[in-house]
Amino acid sequence: MNNYLFVNTEFFFLLIIPFGLLIWYVFKNKKNTSEIIFSNLDSLQQTKTIKNQLRHVPHIFKILAILLLIIALARPQSSTNWEESTTEGIDIILSMDISGSMLAEDLKPNRLEASKNVAMDFISKRKNDRVGLVIFSGESFTQCPLTTDHNVLVNLFKDVKSGMVEDGTAIGMGLATAVNRLKDSDAISKVIILLTDGVNNKGVVAPFTAAEIAKKFGIRVYTIGVGTEGYAPYPFQTPFGIQYQDVEVQIDEETLQNIATVTDGKYFRATNNSKLKEIYKDIDKLEKSKIEVTEFHKRSEEFTKFAIPALILLIFGFILEKTYLKQII
């Protein structure tokens, strides 16, 4: 963006000179004008020659030249300002439990859909970050690798449903697969958000072993235990339709706490929808992308843009005065 500023503003007091000369010249010409009687209009037309029309031009040129020279003396400068921003994003893997117990309806409409909705809202706010998705049950796999195309990720997230893989809760496998996706990342911060509602009962990798591997690669893990306290309504298919039965909520909070502690992360417990939203908001605040903004300023002298036209006006005025208009000035 270009802005004009003047270094020697005190010279603007000299602007009274050209305005004073202009007023003096106007009054002088009025005073020197006398009344002339013509016998006919033809004589009047003869007096309105081009020379008569141009006789004021040299004086106007001089006044304008003085005006421009005063502006030039004030040292006009153009100032150009611009910014350069450097964004260093965070690589985030969401590792989500999709086991059958995630269909419990202590969160609305159920744990899985509530978790998906909050996670997708979280993704939409991480515009500068690469985000990926790992899902696990009795096994784990990558639903979406790290990407900045969040629209693709959200569409793949919408397709996630319980029963996509063998049932069970392989927390260690879900964490290990997420670590594998982040271990070669060059991001300034590498984060896993692991969400589950159960106890590790499947998989060949123990949760603590996966946590140690995450620590080795500098990956921070936030763990979320989702589910109410006590019992939760769970839907069962019967010959008479879907029936609900209260099932005891069992979350291995000790394991989730240990994973978070080992990796310098944090453990959260989401007992309802609003708490789950608050947890993701807290994580969003804890993991901020690094944005550096550098401001640049450049100033250029612009006095020649006023001094040169002033010189041209003086030269043209002098030439007109000494040649073409010599006889009438």
Tokens of 244: 């609900």
- The mean pLDDT of 28-55, rounded to a whole number, is 58
Q: How far apart are CA 224 and CA 273, in angstroms?
A: 13
Whether the CB-CB separation of 251 and 227 falls below 8 Å is answered with yes
| Residue 252, pLDDT score | 94
Residue 221, SS3? strand
Residue linked to tokens 């003096």:
24
Three-state secondary structure of 33-96: CCCCCCCCHHHHHHHCCHHHHHCCHHHHHHHHHHHHHHHHHCCEEEEEEEEEEEEECCEEEEEE
Q: How far apart are CA 169 and CA 77, in angstroms?
A: 69
Q: Regarding the domain with residue range 90-288, which homologous superfamily does it belong to in the CATH classification?
A: von Willebrand factor, type A domain (3.40.50.410)
pLDDT digits 0-9 by tens, 133-142: 999 999 999 9
Residue 182, SS3? helix
Residues 6+ apart with CB under 8 A from 79: 2, 3, 4, 5, 297, 298, 299
Q: How far apart are CA 139 and CA 207, in angstroms?
A: 13
pLDDT digits 0-9 by tens, 248-272: 999 999 999 999 999 999 999 999 9
| Residue 218, pLDDT score | 96
The pLDDT-based confidence of 153 (bands split at 50, 70, 90) is very high
| Residue 38, pLDDT score | 47
Q: List the domain boundaries for the chain.
A: 2-81+298-322, 90-288
